[in-house]
Structure 1
């Protein structure tokens, strides 16, 4: 017997619960004011020694709560898929679904999928996970959507030293 997934809603005004039948949704998101769910669909790749790769992103949007009607949208990845594990970070204010690599790697990639514009962008960061390479393992990386930091630092050494100070505290 497998798991059955349910989404529980609470109507504050009526003080009542509602249960929405669900299936496995990797991450719930707010999709333009509606409940959305994102799944990453994996398949085995024969050329990668039986390894798994991400073939497509599936977006489910709850169109009608009463009738429990969902719309499904499928966004394929590259022809050969993507091999590194990804996490669904969430959705930006500009309606882009953000995915990031689960583990620190060189380079570390963050992906932005815009369903409206039908674009898929990759931004990579150099040096993320570099300190873990000497230990032959990767560290988990947590990413957040729409976080804004004030980077108007006049002295670049201050910015650099504050990052290293935080990094050293993790290994004490």
Structure 2
């Protein structure tokens, strides 16, 4: 604040402009400055302005599973990492979120995280059944959902109606119908929906939401092989992609490749080595492209592989080093870069088990939350 001035003497437009440039973790502290600042930060105009500013500076987002919950960090996201011989980024601590047991983690979707199996309080672990939880990692706001029989769930977003829905699907051989829960309507309850093809998924299965459609790998019950399940968030209808190519690959990660459904496939080649391939369009699996070769001394976390809006494939590599690295690969230019991430030193749990760390690209901080 300018010496000799009070917040009342500073134009509200100027205060709004300054606050909209702050990170989300600073907004909560700013609410305590005065009633005027609180009223400014609660305005829909400010929330929209903040989101617009954040969208222009997407960040890398790191989620670390700790013994006492989750720790979220963010760092700048490099736009042209291949132009430098080496690159070092610093991840700033963002927020700590309580989450006990081993909560299922779907990932980021339009600024929200969906945990499908979580306890918020450690004192409840012996008396309370875990429930699904929606969390805004930018603000720490969260909301517990009805149990829904604790099946695996996915968070989908309809960009036309601006509406979030949670899809709950059977695990393994459970004989149960899929369920849907619509958020933000005031009626938080599960509804059974019809699915023309009986299928199940495993705990480790991830999904991806692209332009209002949820995609995930499902295991058919009748013939015992996998298909790509497509769930339209708006109409709540199912479709399926039954490509023979995907039936024989045990390690497959569906991705959003520049607005199209793509896939990352891992193949064991020899002596413990692994080859990673990129498919830019699942409807054209024969056009798979060699992405990267991993030796037996490294491990790639397939749950953390993602693609930026500009087409860079990004993933975490675990090796014998005590440093954290994010790998960037551009399949068009055929260039790659290893980016060192600093700032994890205080998170001892991350060093103890690096597979507890997940990275997401193009993270945009958003102050909105489901009411």
Structure 2-normalised TM-score? Answer: 0.31
Match of 1:4 among 210, 225, 228: 225
> In 2, Cα distance between the equivalents of 1:28 and 1:99?
14
Q: Distance in 2 between matches of 1:11 and 1:123?
A: 36
Structure 1 residues 131 and 90, CA gap change in structure 2 (3 angstroms): closer
Aligned residues: 133
| Range that drifts further, 31-40 or 4-13 | 4-13
Partner of 2:266 in structure 1? 40
1:100-111 superposed matches below 5 A: 100-101=316-317, 106-111=322-327
Partners in 1 of 2:224 and 2:320 — Cα distance?
A: 31
Asked if 1:59 corresponds to 2:278, the answer is yes
Kept in 1: contact 2:258–2:308 (CA 8 A): no
2:257 to 22, 31, 34: 31
RMSD between aligned alpha carbons?
Answer: 3.5
Whether the 8 Å contact between 1:104 and 1:129 is mirrored in structure 2 is no
Which residue does 1:17 correspond to in 2?
A: 238
2:130 is matched with none
1:105, CA displacement in angstroms?
5.3
Summarize the Cα distance change of 1:82–1:92 in structure 2 as closer, same or farther, 3 Å threshold. farther
Higher Cα radius of gyration: 2
If asked which structure has higher relative contact order (CA below 8 Å, sep 6+), I would say 2
The alpha-carbon distance between structure 1 residues 16 and 126, as it changes in their structure 2 partners (threshold 3 A), is closer
1:107–1:127 Cα contact (<8 Å) kept? no
Aligned counterparts of 1:82 and 1:112: Cα–Cα separation in 2: 20
Q: CA deviation at 1:63?
A: 6.0
Q: 1:105 to 1:130 in 2, by over 3 A?
A: farther
In structure 2, the CA distance between the partners of 1:107 and 1:6, relative to structure 1 (3 Å rule), is: same
Q: Name 1:83's counterpart in structure 2.
A: 297
Q: 1:125 to 1:82 in 2, by over 3 A?
A: farther
Distance, in Å, in 1 between the alignment partners of 2:296 and 2:308 is 22
Q: Which has the higher strand share?
A: 1
After TM superposition, give the deviation of residue 113 of structure 1 in Å: 1.0
How far, CA to CA, are the matches of 2:358 and 2:232 in structure 1?
A: 32
Counterpart for residue 74 of structure 1 = 290
- Superimposed CA distance per residue, residues 137-167 of structure 1 (whole angstroms, 9 cap, x where no aligned partner): 4342121112257xxxxxxxxxxxxxxxxxx
Question: TM-score by structure 1 length?
Answer: 0.60
Contact in 1 for aligned 2:262/2:282 (Cα 8 Å): no
Which has a greater percent of helix? 2
Relative to structure 1, is the Cα distance of residues 40 and 13 closer, same or farther in structure 2, using a 3 angstrom cutoff?
same
Partners of 1:138 and 1:14 in 2: CA distance? 41
Structure 2 portions without partners, runs of 5+: 1-222, 366-371
In structure 2, relative to structure 1, the CA distance for the partners of 1:5 and 1:120 (3 Å cut) is: same
Check conservation: 2:252, 2:266, Cα contact below 8 A: yes
- Match 1:138 to one of 348, 353, 365: 353
Shift in alpha-carbon separation, 1:31–1:60, aligned structure 2, 3 A = same
2 CA distance for matches of 1:33 and 1:59? 15
Distance 1:7 1:61 in 2: 15
